[in-house]
Structure formats: structure tokens, C-alpha cells
Structure 1
Amino acid sequence: MIFFFALLAKSGSAQKFEQLAQTPPMGWNSWNKFGCNVSEKLIMEVADVLVQTGMADAGYEYVVIDDCWQVDRDENGEIVVDKDRFPHGMKYLADYVHSKGLKFGIYSCAGTKTCQGRPGSRGYEFQDACTYARWGVDYLKYDWCHSTTQNAQASYTLMRDALYKAGRPIVFSICEWGSNKPWEWATDVGHLWRTTGDIVDRWDAMMGIFDAQKDLWRYAGHGHWNDPDMLEVGNGGMTTEEYRTHFSLWCMLAAPLMAGNDIRNMDKETQEILTNKEMIAVNQDKLGKQAFCFRDNGDYEIWVKKLSGEEKAVCLLNRSDEAKTVEVNFSVVLKASDSYWSTDPYQLKDFRIRDLWQHEEIKPKGEVMEVKMVPHSVKVYRFVKK
């Protein structure tokens, strides 16, 4: 069976939908805050608030229901929606989300059951894909629980083919936790793939996931992104400074930006972080590059992301528990490249430097500037061509 799927993928008779996720997907997912406590009412309210708060205008377009919307299969094998929580069904809900100018996402699993023990899609891939297409689904998060001895590449390729045959363009989010190095094989299978296990709303857990991305920059690009998991911004386990760092790092990584908080009740600081359009522009840059680590001095790192128009974003990271004052040579970081040094004739005088959190231009007196950084913080600068 594995050999058959490999031949099918190479033959060109099956493929993923192209021209989707040309920049990292942005949206909201229910899991991090609500777990199994999902409902039609919640999803409709989230869609409303995405529009009302300006998050939709900032780029958040996918509203994704995670696990626990499904309860059974009927006598024909059709997936059964929880009628108590979703009384009008998924087609109704998708239509409502679409009426707000947004897109609708759903969850399933490559195994026999989902991670919460609901019916998975193994053995029902083509049937489920047709159902999702009929409902108007735009995004599928596909998990890896209860997969036993399944081959990951074959299993995800099978659902890719099922989605393609169903005929509705659906962003395919591979969630197999990086166990089988999907960055090495999933470019033609999915539009994004998880690189690690689940995120937890703690500084150390978030930074552990960030560290795992360090050598993966070469695998990211248009329509195929490394996914370090959804955002925890606003869920209460980190400080505002740490959430600002979390969001900045995900933007630098060209990671999907899937908010995971209760956006109906978020404070001003959370909303300002999630809707920082200058940081989002770095994430959504059309060049499609993931940042690389240019300098690692232990508790202090410099990350650089190439941007379109020969511009660059530079992130200074103080991951220590103490405040730091660092010296930054802007001429050096401007020349930084993913081969660690660029022969391009970049000249500092040809650029303006913007602080993307202060939303102002900085004007260092020379090439070198001292930068004060509080614990667990970042400074993010954009070199803007004059």
C-alpha cells in the first residue's frame, strides 16, 4: 500500500490544491482556549468578533473548529455532527462564517479515532473529503492520534488525494507533530505541517518549540510552511512581554498565525499584539522566507528574515531572566544572509530602520547602537529601502 501511494504521488494523477496558503495562513482555532467545549454559538460569536475587532482586516480569515464536533457515524458511514452543540449543522455554520467574509475550517484525524476519542477518518477519507466539500469547508486540520502502525506519508497523501478529488480547494494542515520529519516529504502533500508536539501556555514550553525551528528555514516557502503550533497569546500563562515575544518569533518564522484565545473577552494589550500590522506584514511578506538564526550567544540571539524588495527584518531576542544591554552593529546585521554572510552590496545609508513595536523610525548616530532589553523580550527592526 505504501508503495502504491508513492507511485500515485509521483505519477501526477493526484496532487494538492496549488495557489493556496501562498503566505502563512492566519485565523483562529478553538483548541487552546476551549478544548472540547465548542459550539455553534461560540463559532458564530468568534466570527462576529474577528470582524468587529479589526482582526479580519489584519488578515485573520480562517475560523477553525478543532476536535469534538463529531460524535459518531451513521449506517452509511457518514460522519455525525453533535446536534446538541451544532443544532443547525456544519453547512449552516460554514455559510454564516462565509457571510462575514471569512473562511471555515474543521478538524479530523488520520487514525481510527481523534485525539479525544471521536470518530477519525481512517477508512473514510474520500467520504469525509466529499462531506467537507459539500459543507463548504476551506481548511482541514488533520491530526495523528490512534494511527498505530500507519505510515505517515501514505496516510496524509491519501487524504490529500481525497480532498483533491472532492473538488473544493481546502488548505490541508498536517498535524503529525513532526514525528516523521514532514518537512522532508510534505511539500507536495500539505500546505503546512506541525514540527513539534503541542504548545503549552508557558514561556519555557513556547521557547522549546521555537528552538526546534532553528534548522528548518530551508523547508518553508509559498504553499508549504513549517507550523510550530497555534498562538497562546492572551490565554494567561505568560506575561504581556512574553506574549509580545511569542508573537514576534512566530512572525519571524513565517509561521501560520492561528490565534487561540477567547477573542470575545481579550484585553487591550492582547488585541494590540495580535493586530500589530507591521509585525504581520513581516509574517505575510510575499517573498515567503523563514527567519534564520544569524547569531547565538546563549541567552541573546539575533534572527534575520529576508523580505521582498531587498528588505530585511531583524529580531533581537533576550531569552534570559535578566535585563541586558546589547550592542548592535546595524551594518553587519543588514548584510546577514542564510549562508551567514552576504556578498550583496547592502549599504546602511540606503535604508531606514523602523522599530516594529514602537512603530517609529530609529536613527542611530553610527553603525553601532546600544539597545536595552528587559527579560524575555525582543526588539524587532525592519530595514526599509529608501
Structure 2
Amino acid sequence: MLRFGLCVFFFLFLPNNVKLLDNGLARTPPMGWMSWGYYMCGDKCKEKPEKCLDEKLILSVVDAFYNEGYQEAGYEYIIIDDCWSEQKRDKNRRLVPDKKRFPRGMRFIADYIHARGLKFGMYTNIAAKTCMLYPGSRGYFDIDAKTFAEWGVDYLKVDGCFVEEDFLNIAYIKLGQHLNNTGRPMVYSCSWPYYIQYIHHKKPDYKAIAPHCNMWRNYHDVYLSWEAVKIIIQHYAEEYGVLSAHHGPGMWNDPDMIIFGTNSLTESQSRVHLAVYVMLSAPILLSCDMSKVTAYEKKLLLNLDLIAVGQDRLGIMAKPHSLEYGVTLWVKRHLPMKGDIYHSYSFAIVNFDSEQHLIHFFPKVYGIDSADGYTVMDVFSGEFLRNVTLHDPMQVTVPPDDVIMYTFFPL
């Protein structure tokens, strides 16, 4: 911890040597698609063609975003995760895309994406190898940053496998400097706090991390099950006090991907998954075969009232309140405002119990304060239910593994 403290002191208080991340990006949480959650490594194309990470897959996601309304709803980043490269660098020490799976290279994919008004993301690791043992960036930060910039990358996910704690605490800062130096703005997604906490068993210093990354993973990977989603949501409820303090425009906690389109969730579980993520102001990154997104999942993903809560410019992380066994009320203050005084509020009542619950609560207790009252909208249906005063209670029945979500707009 002493060495970590010295590293942090060095980088925070010697501005002539270290620049903070300065890209002006991710002022709202990024939205898009990432390959890992569903396709994983995706390099066994002969054995598992349905899980092949290749050019055809990436272009199919681009076309789905462009043609099916996702782009208009705010989904813009298409991100290739681990296992995209050849096993060796070229003679100039540059990374090389897998020649069979990406025959026209990454610049071709970037140009295809950019021509449709979307953005391109890629992956590396700060170690010598990636988590799946492909070439990593350690020793090549300058070369790789320039390569990603030349390829037209707009978003870089950077993992932290296989590195010692001392290097971890400086590597993300150094790589961020090299990304800044390219002159190409790239959303910088770090895994710094995850590896500090779960590999090196120390408490992450978010005050030191936040100025150097646009977003960061701080909990385990999601996998394709409802239990995995629940565990992540419960972690964010338990760690709210720590995680909310350094979270907002340009710097986001990342609870990992949305697992729609994988046949893993019921409709009610899908509601919970997306509702809590937007309440958290979390990145919304799908990972799936886009052709397998169900009609109901697509309806949720394109629900602009839901997206508006997640993309609110204030970027406040919803606060959890335990109401009774299995039931949590998440409360988020956001725009629009009335007269620059009274905020709107969203309330998401999440029931993880196996039985339905009849819930009573007074919104005034959780922050609403306009004496003229509020009009209440059901976020999932888009219907305005009724107007309420500061003194009116709310009563709602929440089924098991489900959520009821309301937005209160000041009158």
C-alpha cells in the first residue's frame, strides 16, 4: 500500500510529468455492442461457426444498428474484444489482425462503421499477453496507441490480466498518456479497480483512478444467467457509498454487458436488468447475435423514456434503499428541471424475492420537493398515470423477479 500511495502521489502532484485523461468523451454513459459476453474468444471458427469473432459478425452488428433503429436511440459503439489478432506482431512490432478472420484489416472495419455514423472500439491488455494469451501492449504502449489511432479506433477497452500490482498502478496512466498524445479522442475503458480489488486484494483508490479513465470495470464478468445479473446488481447496491462518489460525466462505473438476445432472461428479468443499469447511469453495451434479440427485448432497448434516464446529462448514480426482504427502491435525481430548481426523479422498485410484494412509500421521503406536485409516468408503458402532491403515498404491487419504474416530472 505504501508503494501504491507513492505512485499515486507521484502522478497526481507532478503535472509536468503526467497529464490527466483529456479527451472530452463519454459525457453520458457509452451505448453499443461488445463481442465478449456472448462470443467470448470466438477464434474457433471451424468448430463453432455460430460463435465466430470475424469481420462478417462485426459488419452484421453495424448493419443491425444502422437499419433497425438502434443508432437513432443512441447505440453507437461496436467493440471487438479479446482474440482479434495474430499471435505475433509484425516486423515493425505492430499488432496484426487475424488474417483469416479479418482479411481486410481493422481500418476497413473502422471505415465501414464510420461511414454509417457509428463508432469503432477495440481491446488490448496492459500485460505482455491478453487474458486469452494473444499479444498484449506491455512494452508497446506508444506503438499500439498510434496503431489504434491510425486504424480509426474510437473506444479502447484495456484489460489488466497478468501484471504485478506496482505496474498496474502506473500502466493505465501511462497508456492513457500515449492515447492522449495520438491526438485521436478514444473512450478509455479500464479494468484497473477490478484487478486491484479481486486479484491483488486491496481497496481501489477511485480518487486516483477517476482522472485517468472514462469508465472502469470493478466487479466480476457477467455470464449468461439471471443469477449473474442479480449478483452484479446486489454488489452495486452494497457498494453504493464507495462507487457513487467518483461517478459522472466522463467517468463511469461499468457493471459489464447487457445479456439480451441470448435466451438467458424472462421478460420481467430483462426489465430489471436494463432498468437498474439505466438507473445506475451505467454503460449499456449489448453482447449477442443481434438477429436473436427478441421483439420484447428490442422494445425495451428502444424505449426512449428508459434511455433518457440512463443518458441524463447529470449522470447521477441511483441510490438504493432496502424496503423489505428482497425489495430495493432505487432513486435517481435527473433532468428536466422546473425553473432550474426542482429536478425530475425516477423510482425503480426491484423485487428479487420469489413472492410478489405490495409496496407503500412516500416519494417525498426520497427527495421530491416541488410544492406544485408532480406528474407520474410509467416508464415501461410511457403512460402518464396521475398527478401527485408532496403528501401523496405510492402503492404498487411488484411481482417476483420484476421491477416497477416511475418518473416524476415537476408540475
TM-score (norm 2): 0.87
Is the deviation greater in 245-254 or in 67-76?
Answer: 67-76
| CA deviations over 1:28-81 (Å, ceiling 9, x no partner) | 101111122211111111101001111111100100000111122122211111
Answer yes or no: is 1:152 the counterpart of 2:168. yes
- Residues 176/197 of structure 1: CA separation in 2 closer, same or farther (3 Å cut): farther
In the alignment, the residues of structure 1 paired with residue 224 and residue 35 of structure 2 have an alpha-carbon distance, to the nearest angstrom, of 14
Query: Could you say what secondary structure the match of 2:195 adopts?
Result: coil
In the alignment, the residues of structure 1 paired with residue 107 and residue 9 of structure 2 have an alpha-carbon distance, to the nearest angstrom, of 34
| CA deviations over 1:138-159 (Å, ceiling 9, x no partner) | 0000011122454322111011
Query: Could you say what secondary structure the match of 1:205 adopts?
Result: helix
| CA deviations over 1:231-285 (Å, ceiling 9, x no partner) | 1122122212101100000000000111112113322011112111111100000
RMSD between superposed Cα atoms in Å: 1.9
- What residue number does 1:341 align with? none
Asked if structure 1 preserves the Cα contact closer than 8 Å seen for 2:23 and 2:187, the reply is no
| Cα shift at 1:297 | 2.4
In the alignment, the residues of structure 2 paired with residue 73 and residue 229 of structure 1 have an alpha-carbon distance, to the nearest angstrom, of 29
Structure 1 runs (4+) deviating above 6 angstroms are: none
| CA deviations over 1:170-219 (Å, ceiling 9, x no partner) | 00000246232253421111000111010122222212111222322222
In the alignment, the residues of structure 2 paired with residue 144 and residue 273 of structure 1 have an alpha-carbon distance, to the nearest angstrom, of 33
- Residues 185/137 of structure 1: CA separation in 2 closer, same or farther (3 Å cut): same
- Residues 8/279 of structure 1: CA separation in 2 closer, same or farther (3 Å cut): same
- What residue number does 2:121 align with? 105
- What residue number does 1:220 align with? 247
In the alignment, the residues of structure 2 paired with residue 354 and residue 67 of structure 1 have an alpha-carbon distance, to the nearest angstrom, of 41
- What residue number does 1:359 align with? 382
Query: Could you say what secondary structure the match of 2:361 adopts?
Result: strand
| Cα shift at 1:166 | 1.4
- What residue number does 2:10 align with? 7
- Residues 118/202 of structure 1: CA separation in 2 closer, same or farther (3 Å cut): same
In the alignment, the residues of structure 2 paired with residue 201 and residue 25 of structure 1 have an alpha-carbon distance, to the nearest angstrom, of 21
Q: Among residues 255, 266, 271, which one is paired with 1:244 in the alignment?
A: 271
TM-score (norm 1): 0.92
In the alignment, the residues of structure 2 paired with residue 151 and residue 262 of structure 1 have an alpha-carbon distance, to the nearest angstrom, of 36
- What residue number does 1:75 align with? 91
In the alignment, the residues of structure 2 paired with residue 183 and residue 275 of structure 1 have an alpha-carbon distance, to the nearest angstrom, of 32
- What residue number does 1:171 align with? 187
Answer yes or no: is 1:346 the counterpart of 2:370. yes
Query: Could you say what secondary structure the match of 1:187 adopts?
Result: helix
Answer yes or no: is 1:187 the counterpart of 2:203. no
- What residue number does 2:201 align with? none
- What residue number does 1:42 align with? 57
Query: Could you say what secondary structure the match of 2:153 adopts?
Result: coil
| CA deviations over 1:293-334 (Å, ceiling 9, x no partner) | 134423111111110221111111111111122123233334
- What residue number does 1:233 align with? 260
Asked if structure 2 preserves the Cα contact closer than 8 Å seen for 1:255 and 1:283, the reply is yes
In the alignment, the residues of structure 2 paired with residue 178 and residue 36 of structure 1 have an alpha-carbon distance, to the nearest angstrom, of 20
| Cα shift at 1:96 | 0.5
Query: Could you say what secondary structure the match of 1:41 adopts?
Result: helix
Answer yes or no: is 1:291 the counterpart of 2:318. yes
- Residues 10/202 of structure 1: CA separation in 2 closer, same or farther (3 Å cut): same
Q: Among residues 235, 256, 270, which one is paired with 2:297 in the alignment?
A: 270
- Aligned pair count? 376
What is the letter of the counterpart of residue 362 of structure 1?
A: L
Query: Could you say what secondary structure the match of 2:57 adopts?
Result: helix
Answer yes or no: is 1:321 the counterpart of 2:344. no
- What residue number does 1:30 align with? 35
Asked if structure 1 preserves the Cα contact closer than 8 Å seen for 2:373 and 2:387, the reply is no
- What residue number does 2:400 align with? 375
Asked if structure 2 preserves the Cα contact closer than 8 Å seen for 1:110 and 1:142, the reply is yes
In the alignment, the residues of structure 2 paired with residue 193 and residue 58 of structure 1 have an alpha-carbon distance, to the nearest angstrom, of 24
| CA deviations over 1:118-144 (Å, ceiling 9, x no partner) | 001111111100000001000000011
In the alignment, the residues of structure 2 paired with residue 201 and residue 4 of structure 1 have an alpha-carbon distance, to the nearest angstrom, of 38
Q: Where does structure 1 lack aligned partners over 5 or more consecutive residues?
A: 336-344
Is the deviation greater in 376-385 or in 68-77?
Answer: 68-77
